[in-house]
Protein backbone atom coordinates (compact mmCIF):
# COMPACT_ATOMS: atom_id res chain seq x y z
CA UNK A 1 0.00 0.00 0.00
CA UNK A 2 3.04 2.31 0.10
CA UNK A 3 2.38 3.79 -3.33
CA UNK A 4 -1.19 4.60 -2.38
CA UNK A 5 -0.03 6.38 0.73
CA UNK A 6 2.63 8.38 -1.13
CA UNK A 7 0.29 9.42 -3.94
CA UNK A 8 -3.22 10.32 -2.72
CA UNK A 9 -6.05 9.07 -4.90
CA UNK A 10 -7.62 11.80 -7.02
CA UNK A 11 -10.23 11.49 -9.78
CA UNK A 12 -11.14 15.17 -10.28
CA UNK A 13 -8.68 18.06 -10.22
CA UNK A 14 -9.57 21.42 -8.62
CA UNK A 15 -10.26 22.87 -12.09
CA UNK A 16 -12.82 20.14 -12.79
CA UNK A 17 -10.73 17.99 -15.12
CA UNK A 18 -10.86 14.22 -14.72
CA UNK A 19 -7.76 12.35 -13.60
CA UNK A 20 -6.81 9.14 -15.40
CA UNK A 21 -6.95 6.52 -12.64
CA UNK A 22 -8.62 3.46 -14.22
CA UNK A 23 -8.29 1.39 -11.04
CA UNK A 24 -10.31 3.82 -8.93
CA UNK A 25 -12.48 5.23 -11.72
CA UNK A 26 -13.88 1.73 -12.18
CA UNK A 27 -15.22 1.86 -8.63
CA UNK A 28 -17.45 4.83 -9.52
CA UNK A 29 -18.25 3.89 -13.13
CA UNK A 30 -21.96 3.81 -12.22
CA UNK A 31 -21.97 7.49 -11.21
CA UNK A 32 -23.60 9.01 -14.27
CA UNK A 33 -24.96 12.51 -14.93
CA UNK A 34 -27.89 12.29 -12.52
CA UNK A 35 -25.76 10.97 -9.67
CA UNK A 36 -23.15 13.65 -10.29
CA UNK A 37 -25.85 16.31 -10.01
CA UNK A 38 -27.12 14.70 -6.81
CA UNK A 39 -23.64 14.80 -5.29
CA UNK A 40 -23.38 18.47 -6.15
CA UNK A 41 -26.74 19.06 -4.46
CA UNK A 42 -25.52 17.24 -1.36
CA UNK A 43 -22.45 19.46 -1.19
CA UNK A 44 -24.40 22.69 -1.49
CA UNK A 45 -27.18 21.69 0.91
CA UNK A 46 -24.74 20.53 3.56
CA UNK A 47 -22.78 23.76 3.39
CA UNK A 48 -26.06 25.62 3.87
CA UNK A 49 -26.81 23.48 6.93
CA UNK A 50 -23.43 24.47 8.31
CA UNK A 51 -23.78 28.20 7.65
CA UNK A 52 -27.33 28.24 9.04
CA UNK A 53 -26.28 26.49 12.25
CA UNK A 54 -23.28 28.78 12.61
CA UNK A 55 -25.59 31.78 12.23
CA UNK A 56 -27.91 30.36 14.89
CA UNK A 57 -24.98 30.07 17.28
CA UNK A 58 -23.87 33.64 16.58
CA UNK A 59 -27.44 34.76 17.29
CA UNK A 60 -27.36 33.07 20.68
CA UNK A 61 -29.66 30.21 19.74
CA UNK A 62 -27.05 27.44 20.02
CA UNK A 63 -24.46 27.02 22.73
CA UNK A 64 -21.77 25.87 20.30
CA UNK A 65 -21.38 24.37 16.82
CA UNK A 66 -18.53 22.48 15.18
CA UNK A 67 -18.40 23.70 11.55
CA UNK A 68 -17.54 21.34 8.70
CA UNK A 69 -16.85 24.09 6.14
CA UNK A 70 -14.44 22.69 3.55
CA UNK A 71 -14.88 19.05 4.57
CA UNK A 72 -18.14 18.40 2.72
CA UNK A 73 -16.68 16.13 0.03
CA UNK A 74 -14.85 13.92 2.52
CA UNK A 75 -18.08 13.29 4.41
CA UNK A 76 -20.51 13.05 1.50
CA UNK A 77 -18.29 10.88 -0.68
CA UNK A 78 -17.71 8.42 2.15
CA UNK A 79 -21.26 8.13 3.43
CA UNK A 80 -22.74 7.79 -0.06
CA UNK A 81 -20.47 4.75 -0.50
CA UNK A 82 -22.24 2.88 2.30
CA UNK A 83 -25.20 0.53 2.42
CA UNK A 84 -28.20 1.19 4.69
CA UNK A 85 -27.20 -1.70 6.98
CA UNK A 86 -23.67 -0.40 7.47
CA UNK A 87 -23.21 1.25 10.86
CA UNK A 88 -21.56 4.60 11.46
CA UNK A 89 -19.78 6.00 14.50
CA UNK A 90 -19.07 9.72 14.35
CA UNK A 91 -17.17 12.44 16.11
CA UNK A 92 -18.84 15.84 16.53
CA UNK A 93 -18.40 17.33 13.06
CA UNK A 94 -20.17 14.85 10.78
CA UNK A 95 -23.26 16.91 10.00
CA UNK A 96 -23.03 15.99 6.31
CA UNK A 97 -22.98 12.31 7.21
CA UNK A 98 -26.08 12.79 9.35
CA UNK A 99 -27.93 14.62 6.56
CA UNK A 100 -27.08 12.00 3.93
CA UNK A 101 -28.01 9.24 6.36
CA UNK A 102 -31.52 10.66 6.63
CA UNK A 103 -31.38 12.56 9.92
CA UNK A 104 -34.11 15.21 10.02
CA UNK A 105 -32.48 18.68 9.91
CA UNK A 106 -35.00 19.78 12.54
CA UNK A 107 -33.29 17.61 15.17
CA UNK A 108 -29.66 18.27 14.23
CA UNK A 109 -29.28 21.15 16.70
CA UNK A 110 -30.86 19.49 19.75
CA UNK A 111 -27.58 18.60 21.41
CA UNK A 112 -25.92 21.90 20.50
CA UNK A 113 -28.87 23.92 21.83
CA UNK A 114 -28.58 22.09 25.13
CA UNK A 115 -32.11 20.80 25.47
CA UNK A 116 -31.40 17.13 24.77
CA UNK A 117 -28.67 14.60 25.42
CA UNK A 118 -28.80 13.44 21.82
CA UNK A 119 -30.24 14.46 18.49
CA UNK A 120 -31.78 11.35 16.97
CA UNK A 121 -32.45 7.67 17.52
CA UNK A 122 -29.28 5.91 16.29
CA UNK A 123 -31.21 2.76 15.38
CA UNK A 124 -33.36 4.68 12.91
CA UNK A 125 -30.42 5.66 10.70
CA UNK A 126 -27.66 3.25 11.81
CA UNK A 127 -25.54 6.17 12.98
CA UNK A 128 -24.55 7.26 16.46
CA UNK A 129 -25.02 10.71 17.90
CA UNK A 130 -21.97 13.03 18.14
CA UNK A 131 -19.11 11.77 20.31
CA UNK A 132 -17.59 14.66 22.24
CA UNK A 133 -14.78 12.67 23.88
CA UNK A 134 -12.06 12.75 21.22
CA UNK A 135 -11.18 9.32 19.85
CA UNK A 136 -13.50 7.29 22.09
CA UNK A 137 -15.70 6.31 19.15
CA UNK A 138 -12.85 4.26 17.69
CA UNK A 139 -13.19 1.68 20.46
CA UNK A 140 -16.97 1.76 20.26
CA UNK A 141 -16.87 1.08 16.52
CA UNK A 142 -14.38 -1.73 16.89
CA UNK A 143 -16.50 -3.46 19.50
CA UNK A 144 -19.63 -3.04 17.43
CA UNK A 145 -17.93 -4.32 14.28
CA UNK A 146 -16.63 -7.39 16.09
CA UNK A 147 -20.05 -8.12 17.57
CA UNK A 148 -21.74 -7.75 14.19
CA UNK A 149 -19.16 -10.10 12.66
CA UNK A 150 -19.74 -12.71 15.37
CA UNK A 151 -23.48 -12.41 14.76
CA UNK A 152 -22.92 -13.15 11.07
CA UNK A 153 -23.92 -9.70 9.82
CA UNK A 154 -22.21 -8.92 6.50
CA UNK A 155 -21.88 -5.19 7.10
CA UNK A 156 -19.16 -2.60 7.33
CA UNK A 157 -18.75 -0.43 10.40
CA UNK A 158 -17.26 3.00 9.72
CA UNK A 159 -15.76 5.31 12.32
CA UNK A 160 -15.05 8.99 11.60
CA UNK A 161 -12.40 11.00 13.42
CA UNK A 162 -10.03 13.89 12.83
CA UNK A 163 -6.25 14.05 12.63
CA UNK A 164 -6.13 15.20 16.24
CA UNK A 165 -7.81 12.00 17.42
CA UNK A 166 -4.93 9.94 16.04
CA UNK A 167 -2.84 11.24 18.93
CA UNK A 168 -5.28 9.74 21.45
CA UNK A 169 -4.63 6.41 23.12
CA UNK A 170 -8.21 5.27 22.58
CA UNK A 171 -7.73 5.28 18.84
CA UNK A 172 -4.40 3.49 19.05
CA UNK A 173 -6.04 0.78 21.13
CA UNK A 174 -8.89 0.53 18.64
CA UNK A 175 -6.49 0.02 15.74
CA UNK A 176 -4.69 -2.70 17.66
CA UNK A 177 -7.83 -4.52 18.68
CA UNK A 178 -9.36 -4.25 15.20
CA UNK A 179 -6.34 -5.81 13.50
CA UNK A 180 -5.77 -8.52 16.09
CA UNK A 181 -9.42 -9.58 16.07
CA UNK A 182 -10.13 -9.00 12.37
CA UNK A 183 -12.96 -6.58 13.08
CA UNK A 184 -14.62 -5.35 9.84
CA UNK A 185 -14.25 -1.64 10.58
CA UNK A 186 -13.22 1.22 8.31
CA UNK A 187 -11.20 3.87 10.13
CA UNK A 188 -11.96 7.11 8.28
CA UNK A 189 -9.66 9.99 9.21
CA UNK A 190 -10.55 13.48 8.05
CA UNK A 191 -7.16 15.11 8.11
CA UNK A 192 -8.23 18.76 8.10
CA UNK A 193 -4.67 19.93 8.91
CA UNK A 194 -5.45 21.38 12.34
CA UNK A 195 -6.27 19.80 15.70
CA UNK A 196 -7.73 22.99 17.18
CA UNK A 197 -4.58 25.15 17.05
CA UNK A 198 -1.97 22.44 16.49
CA UNK A 199 -0.88 21.73 12.89
CA UNK A 200 -0.87 18.13 11.76
CA UNK A 201 2.89 18.06 11.11
CA UNK A 202 3.51 18.48 14.85
CA UNK A 203 1.39 15.40 15.56
CA UNK A 204 2.80 13.26 12.79
CA UNK A 205 5.79 14.11 10.58
CA UNK A 206 4.91 11.04 8.49
CA UNK A 207 1.56 10.57 6.74
CA UNK A 208 -1.15 9.58 9.19
CA UNK A 209 -2.16 6.70 6.92
CA UNK A 210 1.34 5.27 7.33
CA UNK A 211 0.54 4.52 10.96
CA UNK A 212 -1.81 1.76 9.85
CA UNK A 213 1.15 -0.27 8.58
CA UNK A 214 2.38 -0.64 12.14
CA UNK A 215 -0.81 -2.51 12.92
CA UNK A 216 -0.70 -4.61 9.75
CA UNK A 217 -3.67 -2.76 8.34
CA UNK A 218 -4.10 -1.66 4.69
CA UNK A 219 -4.37 2.10 4.22
CA UNK A 220 -4.99 4.65 1.50
CA UNK A 221 -4.69 8.40 1.25
CA UNK A 222 -7.30 10.24 -0.80
CA UNK A 223 -7.90 13.82 -1.88
CA UNK A 224 -10.62 14.61 0.64
CA UNK A 225 -11.93 17.54 -1.43
CA UNK A 226 -12.65 15.23 -4.38
CA UNK A 227 -16.04 13.68 -3.72
CA UNK A 228 -15.68 11.03 -6.46
CA UNK A 229 -12.29 9.87 -5.22
CA UNK A 230 -13.56 9.61 -1.65
CA UNK A 231 -16.58 7.66 -2.88
CA UNK A 232 -14.30 5.24 -4.73
CA UNK A 233 -11.86 4.50 -1.90
CA UNK A 234 -14.64 4.17 0.69
CA UNK A 235 -16.52 1.72 -1.50
CA UNK A 236 -13.34 -0.32 -1.73
CA UNK A 237 -12.73 -0.21 2.03
CA UNK A 238 -16.35 -1.03 2.91
CA UNK A 239 -16.38 -3.97 0.51
CA UNK A 240 -13.12 -5.18 2.06
CA UNK A 241 -14.84 -5.16 5.46
CA UNK A 242 -18.06 -6.83 4.29
CA UNK A 243 -16.18 -9.63 2.55
CA UNK A 244 -14.25 -10.59 5.66
CA UNK A 245 -11.01 -8.74 4.94
CA UNK A 246 -10.92 -7.08 8.34
CA UNK A 247 -10.14 -3.44 9.10
CA UNK A 248 -8.67 -0.77 6.85
CA UNK A 249 -7.67 2.87 7.15
CA UNK A 250 -8.63 5.84 4.94
CA UNK A 251 -6.98 9.23 5.32
CA UNK A 252 -8.96 11.95 3.53
CA UNK A 253 -6.73 14.98 3.10
CA UNK A 254 -8.93 18.04 3.42
CA UNK A 255 -9.00 21.39 5.22
CA UNK A 256 -11.06 22.97 7.96
CA UNK A 257 -11.84 26.32 6.35
CA UNK A 258 -13.56 27.69 9.43
CA UNK A 259 -12.91 27.51 13.18
CA UNK A 260 -12.57 24.31 15.18
CA UNK A 261 -15.82 25.29 16.88
CA UNK A 262 -17.68 28.56 17.10
CA UNK A 263 -15.72 29.36 20.27
CA UNK A 264 -12.43 29.25 18.33
CA UNK A 265 -10.59 32.01 16.43
CA UNK A 266 -8.43 30.38 13.70
CA UNK A 267 -6.81 33.69 12.76
CA UNK A 268 -4.72 33.39 15.94
CA UNK A 269 -2.81 30.36 14.70
CA UNK A 270 -2.95 30.19 10.90
CA UNK A 271 -2.33 32.60 8.07
CA UNK A 272 -4.72 34.02 5.51
CA UNK A 273 -2.33 32.86 2.78
CA UNK A 274 -2.74 29.25 3.87
CA UNK A 275 -6.51 29.54 3.82
CA UNK A 276 -6.42 31.04 0.33
CA UNK A 277 -4.47 28.06 -0.98
CA UNK A 278 -7.14 25.69 0.28
CA UNK A 279 -9.98 27.94 -0.84
CA UNK A 280 -8.81 27.27 -4.41
CA UNK A 281 -9.44 23.57 -3.70
CA UNK A 282 -13.01 24.13 -2.48
CA UNK A 283 -14.96 20.87 -2.98
CA UNK A 284 -18.14 22.60 -4.18
CA UNK A 285 -16.33 24.71 -6.77
CA UNK A 286 -14.50 21.61 -7.99
CA UNK A 287 -17.73 19.67 -8.48
CA UNK A 288 -19.41 22.56 -10.25
CA UNK A 289 -16.46 22.91 -12.63
CA UNK A 290 -16.68 19.20 -13.43
CA UNK A 291 -20.39 19.54 -14.21
CA UNK A 292 -19.74 22.60 -16.38
CA UNK A 293 -16.95 20.85 -18.31
CA UNK A 294 -19.24 17.91 -19.01
CA UNK A 295 -22.26 20.02 -19.95
CA UNK A 296 -24.28 18.99 -16.91
CA UNK A 297 -24.73 22.34 -15.16
CA UNK A 298 -27.52 24.75 -16.06
CA UNK A 299 -29.87 27.27 -14.48
CA UNK A 300 -32.48 24.61 -13.77
CA UNK A 301 -30.01 22.63 -11.66
CA UNK A 302 -28.83 25.76 -9.87
CA UNK A 303 -32.43 26.73 -9.05
CA UNK A 304 -33.31 23.21 -7.87
CA UNK A 305 -30.29 23.00 -5.61
CA UNK A 306 -30.88 26.47 -4.18
CA UNK A 307 -34.51 25.64 -3.42
CA UNK A 308 -33.51 22.46 -1.65
CA UNK A 309 -30.85 24.26 0.37
CA UNK A 310 -33.36 26.93 1.42
CA UNK A 311 -35.88 24.28 2.41
CA UNK A 312 -33.41 22.33 4.55
CA UNK A 313 -32.04 25.48 6.19
CA UNK A 314 -35.55 26.65 7.07
CA UNK A 315 -36.34 23.28 8.63
CA UNK A 316 -33.14 23.32 10.65
CA UNK A 317 -33.82 26.84 11.94
CA UNK A 318 -37.44 26.07 12.78
CA UNK A 319 -36.40 22.92 14.61
CA UNK A 320 -34.02 24.94 16.76
CA UNK A 321 -36.31 27.87 17.51
CA UNK A 322 -39.61 26.07 17.95
CA UNK A 323 -38.45 23.21 20.16
CA UNK A 324 -39.93 23.12 23.63
CA UNK A 325 -37.71 22.92 26.69
CA UNK A 326 -37.53 19.33 27.93
CA UNK A 327 -39.30 18.18 31.05
CA UNK A 328 -37.06 18.00 34.10
CA UNK A 329 -37.64 14.26 34.46
CA UNK A 330 -35.99 13.66 31.08
CA UNK A 331 -32.64 14.32 32.77
CA UNK A 332 -33.05 11.03 34.58
CA UNK A 333 -34.44 8.90 31.78
CA UNK A 334 -32.31 6.39 29.87
CA UNK A 335 -29.58 6.43 32.52
CA UNK A 336 -30.28 2.84 33.59
CA UNK A 337 -32.20 0.16 31.73
CA UNK A 338 -34.34 -0.48 34.83
CA UNK A 339 -35.46 1.58 37.82
CA UNK A 340 -32.70 2.38 40.30
CA UNK A 341 -33.25 3.63 43.87
CA UNK A 342 -30.29 6.01 43.74
CA UNK A 343 -31.66 7.63 40.60
CA UNK A 344 -35.09 7.97 42.22
CA UNK A 345 -33.43 9.70 45.17
CA UNK A 346 -31.51 12.09 42.93
CA UNK A 347 -34.67 12.90 40.95
CA UNK A 348 -36.53 13.77 44.14
CA UNK A 349 -33.65 15.96 45.38
CA UNK A 350 -33.51 17.83 42.11
CA UNK A 351 -37.25 18.44 42.07
CA UNK A 352 -37.03 19.80 45.63
CA UNK A 353 -34.17 22.09 44.57
CA UNK A 354 -36.20 23.46 41.66
CA UNK A 355 -39.21 23.98 43.92
CA UNK A 356 -36.97 26.06 46.21
CA UNK A 357 -35.90 28.23 43.28
CA UNK A 358 -39.49 28.72 42.19
CA UNK A 359 -40.54 29.68 45.70
CA UNK A 360 -37.71 32.20 45.89
CA UNK A 361 -38.67 33.80 42.57
CA UNK A 362 -42.31 34.10 43.69
CA UNK A 363 -41.23 35.70 46.97
CA UNK A 364 -39.15 38.29 45.11
CA UNK A 365 -42.02 39.14 42.77
Residue 254's contacts (CB-CB under 8 Å, 6 or more residues apart) are 70, 71, 73, 74, 190, 191, 192, 193, 224, 225, 283
Residues 95/74, Cβ–Cβ less than 8 Å: no
**CB neighbours of residue 137 within 10 Å:** 26
- Catalytic one of 269, 304, 336, 340: 269
Backbone dihedral angles phi then psi of residue 251, each to the nearest 5 degrees: -110, 110
Distance between CA atoms of residues 77 and 115, nearest Å? 31
> Exposure pattern of 43-61 as b/e (b: 16+ CB <10 Å)?
bbbbbbbbebbbebbeeee
Known catalytic membership, residue 270: no
- Catalytic one of 260, 281, 288, 317: 260
Distance between CA atoms of residues 44 and 282, nearest Å? 12
- Catalytic one of 37, 95, 256, 286: 256
The one-character DSSP state at 12 is: B
Distance between CA atoms of residues 242 and 176, nearest Å? 19
Known catalytic membership, residue 24: no
Distance between CA atoms of residues 108 and 216, nearest Å? 37
Known catalytic membership, residue 256: yes
For the annotated catalytic residues, the residue numbers are: 256, 260, 269
Amino acid sequence: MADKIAFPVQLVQPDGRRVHRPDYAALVADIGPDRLRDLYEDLVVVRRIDTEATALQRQGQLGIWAPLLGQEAAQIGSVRALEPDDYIFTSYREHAVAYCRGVDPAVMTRLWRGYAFSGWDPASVNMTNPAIVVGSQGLHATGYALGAHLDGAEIATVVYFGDGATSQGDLAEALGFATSLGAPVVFFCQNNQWAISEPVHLQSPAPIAARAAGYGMPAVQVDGNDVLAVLAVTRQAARHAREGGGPSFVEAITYRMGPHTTSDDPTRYRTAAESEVWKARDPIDRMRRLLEREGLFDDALADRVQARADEVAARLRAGALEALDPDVDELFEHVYATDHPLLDEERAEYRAYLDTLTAGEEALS
